[in-house]
Structure 1
Amino acid sequence: MPLNAFIVRPFGAKEVQIASAKLATELKAKLDKIGLGDLVKTVEQLGGSGLWSAQVNFDAVQQRLLDPALEKLRIRGEPASAVVVAGNIREDMFNKLLTADVVIADLSIHNPNVYYELGVRQAFRDKYTFLIRCNLSEYPFDLKTDRYFEYSLDELAEHPKAVVDRLVTALRGTISSTEADSPIFKLLPQLEAEDRARFIAVPEEFREEVERAQRYRQREHLSLLAMECEGFLWEAEGLRVVGRAQFESNFIDGAKATWEQIVGRYPDDVEANTVLSTIYQRVGDITRSEQALARVARTRTLAPARLSELRSLNGRNLKEVWVKQWRNAGDGACGTSDMDADTSALAARQRAALASPLLQRAFDAYHEAFKADLNNAYAGLNALTLLVIQVELAQRQPDVWTSLQRRPAEAATALVRRQRRIRSLIAALELAVEADRERLQQLGSIDPWFTLLEAAVECIISDQPQHVAQLYEEAKHFAPDNAEESMRRALEVYLELDIRGREQDQHSEIGTIARNVAQATQVLSRRRGTLQKNQQRPRILMFVGLRLDSSMPGSDSGSTVRRPGFPADCVDAVRDAIRQAIDNELACGGQIVFGLAAGANGGDLLFHEVCQAQHIPTRLCLALPWRQYVGQYVAPAGPEWVERFLSVYRTVRQQAQRPDVPGDPVPISTFTDTNEMPRWLNGRPYYNVGRRNSLWMLQHALTAAYELGDDTEITLLALWNKEASEGGIGGIQHVIRAAQLQGVKVHSIVVPSAPALARTLSLPTSAQAATPAVADRSPVKAA
């Protein structure tokens, strides 16, 4: 995700007063001798005053210096002149100054507009403002203490690469620094810089599409929307919207990729690092989780809610390591019988869990988080859980508990103090649950995370196991996928340490934990259906490719526009090539779980037919509802292709009723119900619903591979020819590259451009199979 820069500079050719006569005469001599290109137009003395001036073309300075440097750094640059052209100068200018990742200000002349815009930037953003000037003029007094990059016009004319390389080095140092460069923020170190996200509006249509994808649990659609953010001013904020939806839906793989993109661009982003810390913890990468928390901790000031969250995440990491420490502590236990061995192993786990200093440290972190923000009920729940475990283990292993105290006589007092804290935490959590329940009832909405919280609290305090089981049943019903596994892991801690609750202490304020956990685990053992796992190495085939050649009405009366594809007399040869490609994939071993393609005339339907002939189940990914899809993407080739589509469609539908066919029980997916592009994508050239569908299919394949397991392989078969090569986002070349970046093997099937060569079609060699390098810029698009 590249950074963006806003360039504040004088427009066109401006007069620059030269600071010294010596510099002026040297510059004039070079201008007369070798010329300075279009950088300097004239150098002349102002009357008899002894002052000299030069006409400097600042547009040429940007073309020769700034543009090449930004290109090397992969930074998108936009000059202030673009805002003037756009129309609404004041609002657009303020927005750019506040939201640009980097602002470059050229202070070569005393230009009031440049000074004003620089002041706005330095007043609102603490860093990433870069000052430059040419070596002709005197630097303003108020800016003499600031660092700046100085360029020489004659050197820029004679040795541009050297000047550009120096600028690249300086800019790289600026964007890599975490220190404030604004004199205002240096003078007032407690001043908070404005969050750029507050000034960037994500299109409402985009937000709504994310909400729909989240509501319908469309993991692949969220991943597609993350891809489509690229290139927009609001790219980072759009990714933030998608990342939140993925994380809340427990789509951990997609959320990890999305939030890592944001951190890659903004390493100190508090929200991104906070979420990533949780994600890394869930996937077992504690080191990276702690590193993410450390980046958050570098923030100078944190709001109470954010500070609470940070402490809670620290407690979570400590708890995770604590569990790993004691979980295998009893492996070496042995006895005269299996029962004795089990008892000995349990005692070893209990003693190791109680003796570990991480138990107290994890409790302290959660407890401090809850005190910092009483709305953070999850921190309070975890604090209560750890304290209940500590107290019961202290009662059952009194010798270990006594040995942990500074003085043996303090053991009983310390235990009483913790029992009192349990009572206060229970009261606080009961109040929090009651308040949240009333709030949700007033809103008439259901919060899956609240149902999970309520179930976990009742598991600790209730003496009605069936009531607790009912709450977990409700939580399982509303919770996102994979959240059930988290609930099960939390209950397993009680089981492995044999935490009994009121059965252990009849005078305790806590409930019958052992019986509650037994009932809840029975509920959670009934897992939802998932993709069938394969004993063989699972493999997925995905197909994208050309349709048949066709002509469409043009914009001029009576004219037609040819949509490039492959000629009708190549159909048999294309089918043979697809069959050969699939045979080669079958020969690679493993089990091809299914093939995935759209249903357009030409390559798509041929792929489905070949797969079905070889008893490989397929999935249909249609851009539109099937009747509209037929009219748009199938019928132009004639009634024969409509019949072929309907045959494929019926066969794919029948797979849902076959228990022997692995994979998704709904093998036909529809991307959207309209052929109109959303307004936020209207400005993207060559992009249409068909191309969106191609990228959506790629996300389908990646999602299925994730669900089938890490060893699942994906092969993309891509049918193209040089004549009909598609450029732009969503074109065949773009899908190929996007797939390669995800580790997908790509097998290109090249269609000969001349019909006469159709019968000689064969699979390409590895050199021929390379992605075509030349993009077709025609506005006519194939599906």
Structure 2
Amino acid sequence: MRYFVVRGFGVKKDSAGQEVDFDRVDRELIAPALARCGFEGGTTAQMKDAGSIHSDMFELILEADVVVCDITVHNANVFYELGIRHALRKKHTVLIKGRPSADTTPFDIAGWRYLNYDVSAPAQTVDDLVDTIKAGIDGDRETDSPVFRLMPSLPEARPPNAVPTDFAQEVQRARAASDKGWLLMLAQDVRNQRFEWDGLRAVARAQWKLKDYEFARQNWETLLERDPRDAEALLALGNLYERLSRQSDGDVDLLSQSDEAIATILALPDLELADRAEALALFGRNLKTRWRAELTGATLDERIAQACDKRLLKAYQAYRDAFEIDLNACFPGIAGLHLGAILLVLAQSPSWSSLFDDEDEAAASKVKLKREWAELQAVVRTSIRRAKKTATGDALVWAAISDADLLFVSEDEAAQAAKPDRLIKAYKDAMPKGNSFEWDATRGQLELFALLGIRATAAQAVIAKLEETRPLPAHVVVFAGHTIDRSDRPLPRFPPSTEAQARELIRTRLLTHQQASAGAEVVVLASMAPGADILVHEVCRELGLRSVVCLPMPQDVVARLAFTGIDDGWRNRMLTLLELPGMRPRVLQTEAELPRWLRQRAPDPWERGNRWVISTARAWDAERRTLLALWDGDDAGGATGGTAHLVRLARDAGLFVDRIDSRALLG
């Protein structure tokens, strides 16, 4: 989170002539307290220039998650800036005041809380300031601004936090490459940036699309901690908790968390109609999830009997309610239509009457359901047709999928079963290439129909044609190792004469991991530096293991920077490997320099590359993750971003670490 400090700078006097060293107060009290809270930011003093006030300062006052304001003396600039903060933001403004001071607190804020500190020993109040800041962040106080207390209906200004173009492009590149690890690293890199929250939101959206549900959940929870009324975060978490629940064999706690998120957003005042419709649809989806979990019967008749459950009726009605609120929302419309189709079949079952108080109500409900379903189909068809003409991006994709879903439940069942080609083509044309997120949701719906024996032949035909087998790798191995010694290296570490020995050490250890995986896939992630990196890719080719080349920057830049003083043979071997089928590298940066949005922090690009590789391993769908390192064990030695750094990152990330002692190469 970001902070901004409004204070005097240098030494100032109160009305009695007593001096206060505000730089000391900042140094000994404010800065340590904010550092302990894990915040980053700046002070008013840093924005002063010949007495003028820059627009940057106004932006920082608006954007800051927390503002600390020192009101010890009557300072016009301080109170002017405090007034701006109070007029723009409802809360998280912390007032502090030194003692002794002859200057009284101005009338307008006299009744508001502030923290006292001793001007002669400001460091003594650090703990109290930390507690005050955390209490303000974690508390449920509506406002700490006199402006918003007196005018509660006044809209709060929202920080623009425009995401830099190059950051947005990097998120898009990571999403297009389906690189979950890259997105995980970007979520770390964006912390405490001025655009942190919108940047994190962009990353979380991309993680959702790549089905990286666990890390997406963590990021949306972070956004919700900042703003408990964040409608998008609540909707995302309502979705994520439900999906994670299904992945965890119906984890009841996760599904309950989804219910809580949905209830919270539905209770928000002035909720946009589209958000209310989506929340109601998610409520219906949770009812459907609980209903579906009970369909465990061994026979079709048993499952049909289990399906006659009031939760199905409630889910159907929730979807209808959501669609009535927003007729432009295809999802609740088509979802309601699907459940209605299932209910029409169940209405013919002997168990149907168990859902109602008497036979008359059951019969009347059957007639009503048939009429409603026909009406709903007509409106959904119109909604989809409109969306296909006007929607763009993801909304257009879902409109096309909804059109295929509509065909599935509305086409003559016998004709569809006999000749499903039209239906298969509709789904195939609607699915975006190379993205399994949409297919995952669609397949689940088709599997439900097949489970209940409803349009089962057509559903199974579509699944058989569109399903892609994606076996999860049993083991992801991140490889790191020393570069081959240059001629000017003072002490030998990996002499060129020991290349064959190093190759054999790597081969032996990879064989061990391959055998331990019992025939399941082992995937090796490695860069392409001269020496151990190139050797591991060559050995993987010999052993039939898949290796993934991970370059922190384009290969021509790597060839120029990493191969200086190295025999050209190593560079040629790198280029030869990269020409082989399946060896197209993953590239983090498009140039040698860091992206503009990150240059102010100036992290080392090689170290950032290491973080990216470890993040890739963490985000990979794998049962086991290991760092295999040809390494001398020297934690302090080596180049920046070298093997020792990667080992430290792997340990911190919880990977297994398997070391091949490179000292064996020295005899």
Give the TM-score taking structure 2 as reference length: 0.86
* Aligned-partner Cα distance in 2 for 1:636–1:242: 40
Q: How big is the shift at 1:309?
A: 1.6
2:650 aligned partner: 739
Q: Cα distance 1:602–1:300, how it changes in 2: closer, same or farther (>3 A)?
A: same
1:164 corresponds to which letter in structure 2? V
- Alignment coverage as a number of residue pairs: 645
Q: Cα distance 1:700–1:152, how it changes in 2: closer, same or farther (>3 A)?
A: closer
Q: How big is the shift at 1:119?
A: 2.1
Q: How big is the shift at 1:324?
A: 0.9
1:134 corresponds to which letter in structure 2? G
Among 485, 490, 495, the alignment partner of 2:450 is 495
Q: How big is the shift at 1:248?
A: 2.9
* Aligned-partner Cα distance in 2 for 1:367–1:77: 48
Among 321, 325, 331, the alignment partner of 2:290 is 321
Larger relative CO (CA 8 A, sep 6+): 1 or 2? 2
* Aligned-partner Cα distance in 1 for 2:458–2:24: 76
Aligned ranges for residues 197-346 of structure 1 at < 5 Å?
199-263=160-224, 265-284=226-245, 285-297=254-266, 299-325=268-294, 327-328=295-296, 330-331=297-298, 342=299, 346=300
Q: Cα distance 1:445–1:134, how it changes in 2: closer, same or farther (>3 A)?
A: closer
Give the TM-score taking structure 1 as reference length: 0.74
* Aligned-partner Cα distance in 2 for 1:67–1:577: 50
Q: Is the 8 A contact 2:71 2:97 kept in 1?
A: yes
2:248 aligned partner: none
1:193 corresponds to which letter in structure 2? E
Q: Cα distance 1:219–1:445, how it changes in 2: closer, same or farther (>3 A)?
A: closer
Please state if 1:183 is matched with 2:146. yes
Q: Is the 8 A contact 1:605 1:644 kept in 2?
A: yes
* Aligned-partner Cα distance in 1 for 2:656–2:447: 40
Q: How big is the shift at 1:575?
A: 7.6
* Aligned-partner Cα distance in 2 for 1:274–1:71: 32
Q: Cα distance 1:212–1:616, how it changes in 2: closer, same or farther (>3 A)?
A: closer
Please state if 1:417 is matched with 2:368. yes
Q: Is the 8 A contact 1:716 1:739 kept in 2?
A: no
Please state if 1:436 is matched with 2:387. yes
Q: Is the 8 A contact 2:161 2:195 kept in 1?
A: yes
Q: How big is the shift at 1:673?
A: 5.0
Q: How big is the shift at 1:267?
A: 4.7
2:563 aligned partner: 634
Q: Is the 8 A contact 1:577 1:749 kept in 2?
A: no
* Aligned-partner Cα distance in 1 for 2:395–2:260: 35
Q: Is the 8 A contact 1:276 1:289 kept in 2?
A: yes
User: Residue by residue, what CA displacement relative to the aligned partner does 1:216-240 show, whole Å, maximum 9, x if unpaired?
Assistant: 4444443343333234211221121
* Aligned-partner Cα distance in 2 for 1:581–1:212: 33
Please tell me the root mean square deviation across aligned C-alpha atoms, in Å. Answer: 3.5
* Aligned-partner Cα distance in 2 for 1:671–1:130: 41
Q: How big is the shift at 1:251?
A: 4.0
Among 54, 64, 72, the alignment partner of 2:36 is 72
Structure 1 stretch 176-185 or stretch 84-93: which is displaced more?
84-93
* Aligned-partner Cα distance in 1 for 2:552–2:58: 40
Q: Cα distance 1:117–1:150, how it changes in 2: closer, same or farther (>3 A)?
A: same
Q: How big is the shift at 1:253?
A: 4.6
**Which protein has the larger Cα radius of gyration, Structure 1 or Structure 2?**
1
1:136 corresponds to which letter in structure 2? P
2:302 aligned partner: 348
* Aligned-partner Cα distance in 2 for 1:646–1:600: 11
Q: How big is the shift at 1:579?
A: 5.7
1:114 aligned partner: 78
1:28 aligned partner: none
1:5 corresponds to which letter in structure 2? Y
* Aligned-partner Cα distance in 1 for 2:19–2:554: 63
* Aligned-partner Cα distance in 2 for 1:261–1:746: 30
1:361 corresponds to which letter in structure 2? K
Q: Is the 8 A contact 1:624 1:670 kept in 2?
A: yes
* Aligned-partner Cα distance in 1 for 2:345–2:404: 21
1:194 aligned partner: 157
Q: Cα distance 1:424–1:54, how it changes in 2: closer, same or farther (>3 A)?
A: same
Q: Cα distance 1:304–1:615, how it changes in 2: closer, same or farther (>3 A)?
A: closer
Partner of 2:74: helix, strand, or coil?
coil
Among 45, 54, 71, the alignment partner of 1:81 is 45
Structure 2 unaligned segments of length 5 or more: list them: 246-253
1:455 aligned partner: 404
Partner of 2:14: helix, strand, or coil?
strand
Partner of 2:524: helix, strand, or coil?
strand
1:502 aligned partner: none
Q: How big is the shift at 1:532?
A: 4.6
Partner of 2:559: helix, strand, or coil?
helix
Q: Cα distance 1:227–1:173, how it changes in 2: closer, same or farther (>3 A)?
A: closer
1:694 aligned partner: 610
2:34 corresponds to which letter in structure 1? L
Q: How big is the shift at 1:101?
A: 0.9
Among 121, 131, 138, the alignment partner of 1:169 is 131
Q: Cα distance 1:12–1:698, how it changes in 2: closer, same or farther (>3 A)?
A: same
* Aligned-partner Cα distance in 1 for 2:639–2:192: 20
1:557 aligned partner: none
Q: Cα distance 1:638–1:582, how it changes in 2: closer, same or farther (>3 A)?
A: closer
Q: How big is the shift at 1:66?
A: 1.0
Partner of 1:132: helix, strand, or coil?
strand
User: Residue by residue, what CA displacement relative to the aligned partner does 1:429-487 show, whole Å, maximum 9, x if unpaired?
Assistant: 111111112225xx799933222111112212223634322211223454721432322
Aligned ranges for residues 516-665 of structure 1 at < 5 Å?
518-527=457-466, 529=468, 532=471, 538-547=474-483, 567=492, 570-571=495-496, 580=505, 583=508, 587=512, 590-591=516-517, 593-608=522-537, 617-623=546-552, 626=555, 629-634=558-563, 636-646=565-575, 648-649=577-578, 653=580, 656=581, 665=582
2:113 aligned partner: 147
1:687 corresponds to which letter in structure 2? D
Partner of 2:184: helix, strand, or coil?
helix
Partner of 2:17: helix, strand, or coil?
strand
Q: Cα distance 1:458–1:187, how it changes in 2: closer, same or farther (>3 A)?
A: farther
2:317 aligned partner: 364
* Aligned-partner Cα distance in 2 for 1:368–1:86: 61
2:251 aligned partner: none
Structure 1 unaligned segments of length 5 or more: list them: 18-51, 332-341, 500-513, 552-561, 657-664, 761-783
1:386 aligned partner: 339
Q: How big is the shift at 1:255?
A: 2.9
Partner of 1:619: helix, strand, or coil?
strand
User: Residue by residue, what CA displacement relative to the aligned partner does 1:396-428 show, whole Å, maximum 9, x if unpaired?
Assistant: 33xx44444345433333333333322332122
Partner of 2:550: helix, strand, or coil?
strand
Q: Is the 8 A contact 2:387 2:396 kept in 1?
A: no
Among 624, 627, 631, the alignment partner of 1:715 is 627
User: Residue by residue, what CA displacement relative to the aligned partner does 1:195-220 show, whole Å, maximum 9, x if unpaired?
Assistant: 33xx1111112212322333444444
* Aligned-partner Cα distance in 2 for 1:118–1:579: 68
* Aligned-partner Cα distance in 1 for 2:200–2:12: 41
1:259 corresponds to which letter in structure 2? W
Q: Cα distance 1:291–1:698, how it changes in 2: closer, same or farther (>3 A)?
A: same
Please state if 1:16 is matched with 2:8. no
Q: Cα distance 1:723–1:315, how it changes in 2: closer, same or farther (>3 A)?
A: closer
User: Residue by residue, what CA displacement relative to the aligned partner does 1:253-292 show, whole Å, maximum 9, x if unpaired?
Assistant: 5533443443455454321231122122112231332233
Q: How big is the shift at 1:684?
A: 3.2
Q: How big is the shift at 1:373?
A: 1.8
Structure 1 stretch 607-616 or stretch 243-252: which is displaced more?
607-616
* Aligned-partner Cα distance in 2 for 1:424–1:86: 71
Q: Is the 8 A contact 2:651 2:657 kept in 1?
A: yes
2:327 corresponds to which letter in structure 1? L
